[in-house]
Amino acid sequence: MSLIQIEEYETPPGKTLVETIKASIRTSETLGLERCIQCGACTASCPAARFTDYNPRSLVKSVLENNRGVLELETLWNCFYCYTCQLRCPRGNSPAKLVQVLRQLALNEGKGLENMEHFLDLGEFFAAHGISRLPDYYLDKMAEAFGESWIEFKKKLPELRKELELEPLYIRDERLEIRGILEGTGHFERVKKLKRGLKESATKKKGKEEVNFEKCGRYSGKEAFIV
Ligand code: SF4
Ligand code: SF4
């Protein structure tokens, strides 16, 4: 059994992908998966599809055809849960939710683990500070795209807001409450398992080389959240 096996109650395995997805705690009973008419409105409005080969309409088609090859797709990891597809779908379907279940199924089979590093970064920051932020990996890519001056501008934003006599950005301080929820829902155990899985897979791939979970530190702290 894979190290990253989820709890059975979360996604009981069905005979088909459709059955599994519909039984998942992540989807609602009213999910219009089987009502999909392949209109493509999801793909037309999907930001990830606009800039990459990811295609939510074809993902839904593969699921309806019970094609487990979807679990192998690199593009499965391109969705970033903006939920535009769900909003636009005329049949009450949600490719965003499908992706969540499919990713978990992929992880259960030891696939796509390398994509979890960014999520772990995000989760760790959330647990420590009670807020979300872009993982360092994305910040580096954005700095590449927009230039270091953009990062510098974002870091100086609080100062700039003060100068402009704007209110400071409000950061909720509910860390203990959030930590309690994360503890109660098994978040930290799950993170440990994922890290173990990642290390094992990195060791298999590169001999004894280990995955480095230390942050790069370039954009650490609260200032990173506003970047
Ligand atoms: S928008 Fe809805 S109905 Fe249209 S292809 Fe996408 S999932 Fe199917
Ligand atoms: S949630 Fe994912 S699939 Fe849906 S529109 Fe956003 S990026 Fe695309």
Residue whose CA is at the smallest distance from ligand 2 atom 5 = 46
Instruction: Give the mean model confidence (pLDDT) for residues 29-43.
Output: 97
Please work out whether the CB of residue 123 comes within 6 Å of at least one atom of ligand 2: no
**Ligand 1 mutation pick, 42, 46, 85, 102, max ligand atoms within 8 A of CB:** 42
Q: Decide if 177 contacts 126 (C-beta within 8 A).
A: no
- CATH code of the domain covering residue 27: 1.10.1060.10
**73-96 CB burial, b ≥16 within 10 A, e <16:** bebbbbbeeeebbbebbebebbbb
95: CA distance to ligand 2 center in Å? 7
> Which residue, 60, 76, 111, sits at the end of a domain?
111
Amino acid 117: pLDDT? 81
Question: How sure is the predictor about 195, in pLDDT bands with cuts at 50, 70 and 90?
Answer: confident
Q: Amino acid identity, residue 25?
A: I
For residues 203-221, average pLDDT: 50
Q: Is there a single domain that holds both residue 142 and residue 217?
A: yes
Percent of the chain with pLDDT over 90: 38
Provide the pLDDT for residue 100: 94
Closest Cα to atom 6 of ligand 1: 42
* Cα–Cα distance for residue pair 22/12, rounded to 1 Å: 10
Residue 199 sits in which domain range? 114-225
- Average of per-residue pLDDT values in the chain: 82
pLDDT tens digit sequence for 81-112: 999 999 999 999 999 999 999 998 998 888 88
Last residue of a domain, one of 96, 111, 126: 111
Calpha distance 117→164 (Å, rounded): 38
- Alpha carbon distance 207, 205 (integer Å): 6
Asked, for residue 217, whether it belongs to a domain, the answer is: yes
Q: Which ligand is nearest to the CA of 49?
A: 2
How confident is the model at residue 224, as a pLDDT? 45
Nearest ligand to the CA atom of 90? 1
**Rounded to the nearest whole angstrom, what is the distance from the C-alpha of residue 161 to the centroid of ligand 2?**
32
Nearest atom of ligand 2 to the alpha carbon of 45: 5
Protein residue with least CA distance to atom 2, ligand 1: 89
Atom number, ligand 2, closest to the C-alpha of residue 78: 7
Which residues lie below 8 Å from residue 68, measured CB to CB, with a gap of 6+? 17
Number of domain units in the chain: 2
Which of 87, 111, 135 terminates a domain? The answer is 111
Whether 107 and 126 share a structural domain: no
Query: For 51-72, how does the pLDDT look when each residue is reduced to its tens digit (9 = 90+)?
Result: 999 999 999 999 999 999 999 9
Residue 1 has pLDDT above 90, yes or no: no
Q: Answer yes or no: do 135 and 101 share one domain.
A: no
Looking at the chain, the whole-number percentage of residues with pLDDT higher than 70 is: 80
Assess if residue 62 is contained within a domain. Answer: yes
Pick the ligand that lies closest to the CA of residue 39: 1
Q: Which residue CA neighbors atom 7 of ligand 2 most closely?
A: 79
Single-letter code of the amino acid located at 26:
R
Chain position carrying tokens 């590449």 = 144
Q: Is the same domain home to 59 and 138?
A: no
pLDDT score for 35: 98
pLDDT in tens, 166-182: 877 666 666 678 888 88
Residue 219's pLDDT band, with cuts at 50, 70 and 90, is very low
Hunting for tokens 């001056």 — which residue is that? 149
